[in-house]
Structure 1
Amino acid sequence: MSRKLGRVEAERRGRRGEAFAAWWLRLQGWRIVAQRVKLAVGEVDLVARRGRTVAFVEVKWRRDAAALDTAIDAARLRRVARAAQAIAARHVHDGDTMRIDVILIAPWRWPRRIANAWQPGA
């Protein structure tokens, strides 16, 4: 498979993973307020709200569950955190709690959510 076709397939799977993660979050009482926010400093896959908590969510989809262990690292989380900071004023209001979450998805597995995956200064 050519590199371009591989990238297109990865993008398709990523979008499907994000849609599944959004559905899963909705089942847990979250409201999706934004999707696929791309900025020069980074990207946020989902912005979700439940009560006074706003989560900027990074979604990672892998073909097998073992690959999820290395799907997210500090560099990726920093990019999400920079993008979240850039758009926070649109979604986070006085009294809200803001956090970065990660949802890891593999076929035939329930999603694994890492709540508050990024701490400032980490």
Structure 2
Amino acid sequence: MNRAERGQKAHKRGHLSEYIALLHLMLTGHRILGFRLKTPEGEIDILTLKGQRLAVIEVKQRRTVLEALTAVSPTQRYRLWQAGQKLQARRPDLAKLSLHVDLYVVTAGGLRHVRDAFADGI
């Protein structure tokens, strides 16, 4: 398999992981406000609301949660945070909500929603 084929296969797996995360989040009471949102700061995989908690969720499919955590660079973490803040600034209905950046990991062993995954390093 050449590089282009591997990339295309990974892209399809990534999209499947996003749909799995989306379904699981809906089933666990999250209101989906956006899916694959394009912003000037970057793409938000999933934007959810649960109570007063607004979550920018990055979805990763990896072998382990640790691999997924390390796959999100400090630059990407910052862009996700900035994208959430800018959305709040543009949408008055979101302005008073508590903003969080989460990681949703799909592994062979299951699903894991890591809340505030990057709180120590944004």
Normalised-by-shorter TM-score class:
0.7 to 0.9
Q: How does 1:73-88 map to 2 (within 5 A)?
A: 73-88=73-88
Q: TM-score, normalised by structure 1?
A: 0.81
**RMSD of the alignment, in Å?**
2.4
Runs of 4+ in 1 over 6 A off after TM superposition: none
Q: Could you say which residue in structure 2 is the equivalent of 1:17?
A: 17
Give the Cα separation in 2 of the matches to 1:91 and 1:106.
Answer: 36
Q: TM-score, normalised by structure 2?
A: 0.81
Identity of aligned residues (%): 28
Alignment check: 8 A CA contact 1:32 1:48 kept: yes
Q: How does 1:45-84 map to 2 (within 5 A)?
A: 45-62=45-62, 64-65=63-64, 67-68=67-68, 70-84=70-84
Q: Could you say which residue in structure 1 is the equivalent of 2:104?
A: 103
Give the SS at the match of 2:91.
helix
- Displacement of 1:73 in angstroms is 3.6
1:79-100 residue CA offsets vs partner (Å, 9 max, x unmatched): 2222222323338524311111
Q: Which runs of 5 or more residues in structure 1 are unaligned?
A: none
Q: Which runs of 5 or more residues in structure 2 are unaligned?
A: none
